[in-house]
Amino acid sequence: MVVWSPSTYLQFADERGRPFVDLLARVGAEDPATVVDLGCGPGQLTATLARRWPSASVLGVDSSPEMVAQAQEHADGRVRFVLGDLRTWTPAAPVDVLVSNATLQWVPGHRVLLPRLLAAVRPGGWLAFQVPGNFAEPSHALLHALAADPRYADATRGVARPAAADPADYLDDLTALGCTVDAWETTYLHVLAGPDAVFRWISGTGARPVLQALDDEQRPAFEAEYRSRLTAAYPERAGGTVLPFRRVFVVAQRVVAGR
């Protein structure tokens, strides 16, 4: 079980939050009553859903006790947070908007979950999700190459490894389920401030399972070599370190029967 760190994750809160805003901009729900954020993390983005839809009841769900504990500071009369696993989560009644931001990539074979997630949305409602699509980039390629080194391979074998499909794959999946689908991709050029910026970014997300799998004797050497390789791949510039980050977006509206 990976232990997630809200403070590490929130170091780059603005950059991590931008895709969420861009995703929600394409959701056409006007006055939903129920909105759910699956994989809500530390909750600051979930709270924006209540501001976007002032009449909605908003629920954030996450499998990390640490994240849910952090998220409680954003809870109020309309926004609440609970511990739960999106693989088994089911609402008491179909919801109007179901959002998942940078979470599905951690579920192996998550495309098979799409019919069940869509079933949690009422006819005419919206399913919207965003997943990273940067797993071939140096940040990840260097991580997994080093993890496969004989010095670390035994410790890192079988750790969680995120993956995602292309926009066209998700479009086909959800169109076949009777949805109207808007799918696209964007590559952001995040300019990150401070030393070891890319390491600090990925240590809060994609590299965390690998780093936690290493023992206290292995981890310092691994981190030092990984930092060095990242610095060579992402050199610091005058304005900061540029991290190209591809993301995949999908917004699907469930078609009302008879239309």
pLDDT of 168 reads 98
pLDDT of 258 reads 53
**In terms of Cα–Cα distance, which of 184, 201, 206 is closest to 251?**
184
CATH superfamily of 6-254: Vaccinia Virus protein VP39 (3.40.50.150)
The beta strand positions in the chain, using DSSP E, are 34-38, 57-62, 79-83, 95-101, 121-132, 179-192, 236-237, 240-254
Which residues of the chain carry a pLDDT beneath 50?
A: none
pTM of the model: 0.94
pLDDT of 60 reads 97
